[in-house]
């Protein structure tokens, strides 16, 4: 059997992660996203190569014995992990041996409107769902969905799932130049997120070689989008460290934080050293609070 365990991998957002790849030898996905770091592949509605639960658990036990500092076990796949037909049973078996380690799944969210999928994912500690698009035209152009997926039900499915999932829910949107960065699409994503009410919203862009010829947006565009997503706990993932830092006075910092909470990465990326010192003064004077949300530090108005 091929190795299904990868890691441990350190993550600023989840701690030390041990991954379980539910499709290690073949890309099996109901999306063929233009930005995917995996090779191009025809979409599928179900897995044809299926791993045995006993083999997965055997490898997981060995990995947990060898690595004692794991914070989270991540269900992922060379494709879409919710296509694994034995996922619900696998989660139950992992729960029996994981102890205090949290479980996490990285899903494209394509079939989140299906009741069995909702019930299965509700057993996982941290669910991270992609939401790159809201309009049908965007789904077809960017995510290139399988014919089995009803895109019109995805957002409603996430809203319903949020109501039954009492643990942590994170959404992720990856912005691609000319495909989902129009103000219309951004506004629709924001409206959907307000209804979904995730615990955290991650936004980013392409930072690895994509399967197709598409381009990333700039950090400045991501920052503008984050500021559009008012009152949502947004984190920005971006590798460009050559970003022009801005000088903000006390009033401007408070105005920014009223618009949305800022992460430690935001502060380091866009604040000058003097602005960071002003923020620290605001913290000391209790005008601003530090809040940890899903292992991410946010600064917000007291």
The answer to whether residue 221 scores a pLDDT higher than 70 is yes
Q: Identify the CATH number of the domain defined by range 244-302.
A: 1.10.10.10
Prediction pTM value: 0.85
Domain boundaries, the chain: 5-240, 244-302
| Mean of pLDDT values over 113-117 | 98
Range 5-240: architecture per CATH: Alpha-Beta Barrel (3.20)
DSSP assignment of the chain equals: ----EEEEEEETTTEEEEEEESSSSS-B-SB--TT-SSPP----SS-SS---HHHHHHHHHHHHHH-S---EEEEE-SB-GGG-TTHHHHHHHHHHH-TT-EEEEEE--TTTTSHHHHHHHTTSSEEEEE---SSHHHIIIII-B-TT--GGGHHHHHHHHHHH--SEEEEEEEEBTTTT-SHHHHHHHHHHHHHH--SEEEEEE--S--SSS--BPPHHHHHHHHHHSTTS-EEEE--------B---HHHHHHHHHHS-EEHHHHHHHB-HHHHHHHHHHHHTTSEEEEEETTEEEEEE-
Give residue 294's pLDDT: 61
Give residue 258's pLDDT: 77
The answer to whether residue 241 scores a pLDDT higher than 60 is no
Per-residue pLDDT tens over the stretch 30-74: 999 999 988 888 999 999 999 999 999 999 999 999 888 899 999
Per-residue pLDDT tens over the stretch 180-198: 999 999 999 999 999 999 9
């Amino acid at each position: 059997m091929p190795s299904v365990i990868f890691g441990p991998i350190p993550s600023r957002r989840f701690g030390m992660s041990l991954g379980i790849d539910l499709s290690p030898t073949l890309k099996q996905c109901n999306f063929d996203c233009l930005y995917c770091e995996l090779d191009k592949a025809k979409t599928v509605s179900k897995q044809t190569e299926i791993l045995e639960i006993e083999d997965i658990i055997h490898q997981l036990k060995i990995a947990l014995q060898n690595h004692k500092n794991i914070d989270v076990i991540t269900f992922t796949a060379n494709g879409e992990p919710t296509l694994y037909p034995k996922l619900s049973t696998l989660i139950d078996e992992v729960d029996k041996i994981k102890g205090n380690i949290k479980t996490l799944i990285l899903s494209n969210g394509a079939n989140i409107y299906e009741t069995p999928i909702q019930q299965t994912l509700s057993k996982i500690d941290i669910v991270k769902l992609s939401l790159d698009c809201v309009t049908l035209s965007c789904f077809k152009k960017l995510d290139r969905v399988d014919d089995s997926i009803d895109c019109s039900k995805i957002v409603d499915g996430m809203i319903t799932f949020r109501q039954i999932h009492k643990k942590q829910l994170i959404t992720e949107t990856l912005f691609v130049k000319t495909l989902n960065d129009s103000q219309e699409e951004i506004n629709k994503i924001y409206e959907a997120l307000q209804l979904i009410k995730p615990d955290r919203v991650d936004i980013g862009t392409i930072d690895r070689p994509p399967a197709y010829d598409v381009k990333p947006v700039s950090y400045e565009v991501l920052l503008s989008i984050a500021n559009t997503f008012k009152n949502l706990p947004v984190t920005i993932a971006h590798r460009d460290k050559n970003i022009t830092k801005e000088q903000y006075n006390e009033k401007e910092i408070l105005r920014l934080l009223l618009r949305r909470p800022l992460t430690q990465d935001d502060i380091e990326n866009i604040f000058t050293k003097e602005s960071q010192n002003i923020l620290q003064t605001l913290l000391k004077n209790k005008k601003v609070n530090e809040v940890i949300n899903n292992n991410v530090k946010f600064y917000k108005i007291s």
